[in-house]
Amino acid sequence: MMFKFGPFKHFNWLVDGGPARYDLSWSNISPKWPGIYDGVVEDSQIDRSAVGGSRELVSFLADEYDVPEDRVLLTNGCSEANTFAFLSSVGPGSRVLLEKPIYTPLVELPRAMGCRISFIKRRPDEYLFDLGELDERLKAGVDLLVLQNHNNPTGKALFEHQQKEIASICERYGVPVLVDEVFRDFTLHADEDGTMRQQIPSMVQNYDRALITSSVTKVYGAGGLMTGWLIGPRRFIRRAAHQKLMMVPLVSHLGTGVALEVLRRRGDVLPDAFEEVRSKLRLVSTWAKGRSDLFWSEPDGCSVGFLRYDHDIPSVELCRRLLKERGVKVIPGEFFHIEKGFRIGLSVDYELLREGLAQIDSFFDEL
C-alpha cells in the first residue's frame, strides 16, 4: 500500500509561516548543559552507530520506568518511536480512537496506514475526558486508544488517578493504549539531595497493555541528539524492533551516550530551568486574567499552553493577522483539531514573552 499523508500544517507554519519578532510557536525549552561532553565523547563514537544504541541508556530507562530491559527500544527521536508504535500495533482497517486536541502526526500516521480514525474530546476548561463517553466508545469497538501526557497543545497532564481510571476502562475491553509522554518530565521534582523524581507515573506503570513514547527533546532541549524510546509489552516491542531493523536499523551511539549523561545530570540543571518555566506561566496567567475575551487553562508545569478566544474569526486567519500586524507567531488551534484558540510556547526569554503578550493585548483591543 502507498502511504498518503495529509499536510503537516503545524510544521509548515513553524518553518515557512514567516519571520516573527516574537516567536511564541516553539514547544521545547533550552536548558544549558555545561561540560556535558566531558568524558563522554570519544573519537571511536563519532563513526559508530549501533543496533539498539547505548545499553547503559536502556538499563537507565528500564530502571526509570520499572520495566525489564527487553521492553525498551531506543529510537531516533520520539517521532520514530511513534511511527513504530503504530506499525507494531495497528494496520489497515484498525479502529483507532484519538484524543482531541492532538499533535497532527498522531492522527496522520494511522490514517495513512488505512486505519479508521475517530476522536474523543478533552473538554475545556480543564481538558478532561468524560469517562462515561470513553467507556461507551471503547465498548463499541476500538483497537487502539491514543493519548498524550502532557496534552499538546494544552499542556494538561494525566495524573495518576486519571491514568488508573482510563486504564481500568481500557482493561475492561482489552484495548491497548499508546501515550506520547514527551512532555511528561515537566512534572519531575528535585528532592533535597538533588535527585529528580516523577510526580506522576508513566502509563506503563498503570496498565500492562500500554505503549509509551518519549525523548530528550522537549524537556531537555536536546533534540539534536535524536534520541527517543518506545516502551511497552514485549510482543509489541519485539515486532517494533524487527520493523526498525528492516527500515532504520541503527541509532547513534554518540547521541544515545550523550542522552544518558543528560538524564544522569538533570538534577543539576532542570530545577532552575523549571523555575524559569513557572515564572513564564505565572506571567501568562496574570496577563490572561486581565482580558474578558481570552480563556487560559493553566498548564501543568508544561512549556506550552492553549488560549481560547471569544471572537468570530477562524484561528488560522487570526494567527496570520497576528503575525503580519504584530510580529507575534503562535500556532493556530486548527492545526491541533480544535478551533477558536491558539497555542503559546515558552521557549523565548521572559522579557520577549512579556513584550509579545503586550502585542497580543493590543491586537485583541483593536479586534
Domain(s) labelled CATH 3.40.640.10 in the chain stretch across: 43-266
**What's the rounded Cα separation, in Å, for the pair 205 and 198?**
12
Average of per-residue pLDDT across 101-116: 96
| pTM recorded for the entire structure | 0.95
Q: Do 338 and 101 contact (CB within 8 A), yes or no?
A: yes
Percent of the chain scored above 90 by pLDDT? 83
Q: Do 305 and 154 contact (CB within 8 A), yes or no?
A: yes
pLDDT for the residue 196? 85
Average of per-residue pLDDT across 153-159: 97
Average of per-residue pLDDT across 158-169: 97
**What's the rounded Cα separation, in Å, for the pair 162 and 169?**
11
**What's the rounded Cα separation, in Å, for the pair 101 and 98?**
9
pLDDT for the residue 243? 96
pLDDT band at 245 (very low <50, low <70, confident <90, very high): very high
pLDDT band at 41 (very low <50, low <70, confident <90, very high): low
Closest by Cα among 294, 280, 286, 285 to 345: 280
Q: Do 78 and 217 contact (CB within 8 A), yes or no?
A: yes
Instruction: Quick: pLDDT tens for 277-296.
Output: 999 999 999 999 999 999 99
Neighbours of 178 (CB within 10 A): 29
DSSP 20: -
For residue 305, give the C-alpha cell. Answer: 499552553
Topology at the third CATH level for domain 43-266: Aspartate Aminotransferase; domain 2 (3.40.640)
pLDDT for the residue 251? 92
Instruction: Quick: pLDDT tens for 192-226.
Output: 777 888 999 999 999 999 999 999 999 999 999 99
Domain(s) labelled CATH 3.90.1150.10 in the chain stretch across: 9-31+270-366
Sign of the Cα torsion 42, 43, 44, 47 reads positive
Tell me which CATH code domain 9-31+270-366 carries.
Answer: 3.90.1150.10
Instruction: Quick: pLDDT tens for 122-134.
Output: 999 899 999 999 9
